[in-house]
Every structure is written in structure tokens, then in C-alpha cells.
Structure 1
Amino acid sequence: MLNSPYKIYQQSSVQTASSGQLLLMLYEGAIRFTKSGMEGIKSRNYEAANTNLIKAQAIVNELIAALNHDYDIAKDLLRIYEYLLHLLIQANVKKDETMAAEAVKHLSELRDAWKQAVKQTAGGLMKEAGSI
């Protein structure tokens, strides 16, 4: 049950987002949870670190599940995502902030690349719509 206006807005945002926007939301969530996991490690709150790093792993697993294997790039992305999972798992097991930081770096780079792709795709669609 949704009580707060924020939760209602959040659900509406997800339901009305394009596939590109949803992908960016997943990356943002993975980055946010990994950073929260790093904060948990830094403050020695290992329960919070564990919870947040597991949430980041779940998002990466969703990214893997969403891959379209009809395209060759899916194989490369799969390897990257598997490496990210490795980093997140090891960061959690070893309570190693540097491994989590490396995961954030890669997630941020991927997010930025996808952000550009989404902008270009949206720009192309807008041009097409304007030329009709």
C-alpha cells in the first residue's frame, strides 16, 4: 500500500519511464546502494554494508537478466556485469571499500555511456517527429 506522496510519485515514475530511463534508474540505484555499502564499511556498520551491497548485487543481476542476447554487445556487457558482481561480493565478504569503489567507478562509466545513448536516441526521435 502506498501512503506517502513520495512513494506514489516513485511508483508513477517507474511505470511511465521508457526502457532507457529504467536502465538509467537501475544504474543509479546500484551506484547509490554501493556507496551506502561503502559508508557502512567505513563506519563499521557491517549490517548496513551487507544490506546495501546485496541490494546492489540484485540490481546487477537484473541488468544481466535484461540483456538482449540478439546483439553481440550483450556478451561483453555480461562479462562486465559478472565482474561487477565479483567486486560487490568480494567487497561485502572482505568488507573492502576499495573493491566497492571500483564497482562504483565502472557503474558510473556505464551509466554515463547509456545516458548519452538515451539522449541521442531521444534526439533522433525528436528530429524524426519534427520532419513529418
Structure 2
Amino acid sequence: MTNPYAAYVKSSESVETKEELLIKVFEEILSLLNISIYAIEEGDIKTKAENLTKVTDAVAVLQASLDMEKGGEIAKNLYSIYEFCLEELIKANATNDKEKIKQIIE
């Protein structure tokens, strides 16, 4: 597994703003989720598990980075969305449930 801090530093060097970095993170999450669906279809459980673990780690970092005081209602709503995603990722990884992954994508 890659070092998340090193990946963040590398990504942050190639973008100009925090918003651009956030967009790149979400694009990577979507890509990994789609790869996970394909891996389930192909019976490649190792690839599915590796990618869903990466997504789980990324969502946990996003959730932990929320500023609940400054973010107000938006931060609370994002926290709930991230919590839902984390719960569904764990279930999807344990059961190879493509539909749970599709719900996360939506």
C-alpha cells in the first residue's frame, strides 16, 4: 500500500488550490470504486479488497479533516455522508456487494 502522506504531497504539488486537490481525491475515489466493481465481476477479490481499503482510508481522512466549528451545517452533513460511505464500504468489502459500491458512487 502506498504511503498516504507521500501521495498527498505528490498530489498537492500538481494542483494549485485545495479545491483542485479535493476534486482529484474524489476522482481517484470514483476510479477505485469502479475498478472494485469490475474486480468483483471478474472474481478478483484481492484487487477489490485493496481498492476498497484505499477508498476507506481516503474517506476516513476526508471525514477527519472536517472543521465542525467553521463548517457548520455543511460539515455535519458531510460527516454523515462520509459515515454512511464508510459503513457501506465495510459491508461491500465483506460481501462483494456491487450494489453497495454503486450506492456510494451515487
TM-score for the superposition, normalised by structure 2? 0.82
Q: Is 1:33–1:53's contact at 8 Å kept on the other side of the alignment?
A: yes
Q: Percent identity?
A: 27
Q: How does 1:49-68 map to 2 (within 5 A)?
A: 49-68=48-67
RMSD: 1.5
Segments of 4+ moved more than 6 angstroms: none
Deviation digits for residues 9-56 of structure 1 (CA, Å, limit 9, x no counterpart): xx3x52243111111111111111111111111111000000011111
The amino acid of 1:29's aligned partner reads E
In the alignment of these two chains, the number of paired residues is: 95
Higher relative contact order (CA 8 A, sep 6+): 1
Q: How does 1:101-116 map to 2 (within 5 A)?
A: 101-105=102-106
Identify the residue that residue 21 of structure 1 maps to in structure 2: 20
Q: Is 1:57–1:88's contact at 8 Å kept on the other side of the alignment?
A: yes
The amino acid of 2:82's aligned partner reads Y
TM-score for the superposition, normalised by structure 1? 0.67
Unaligned regions of 5+ residues in structure 2, if any? 1-9
CA distance in 1, matches of 2:17, 2:90: 30
Q: Is 1:29–1:59's contact at 8 Å kept on the other side of the alignment?
A: no
CA distance in 1, matches of 2:94, 2:30: 18
Deviation digits for residues 56-115 of structure 1 (CA, Å, limit 9, x no counterpart): 11110111122111221111110100001111111110000000011111xxxxxxxxxx
The amino acid of 2:57's aligned partner reads A
Identify the residue that residue 86 of structure 2 maps to in structure 1: 85
Identify the residue that residue 46 of structure 2 maps to in structure 1: 47
CA distance in 2, matches of 1:91, 1:101: 10
**Could you tell which deviates more after superposition, 68-77 or 86-95?**
68-77
Q: How does 1:93-104 map to 2 (within 5 A)?
A: 93-104=94-105
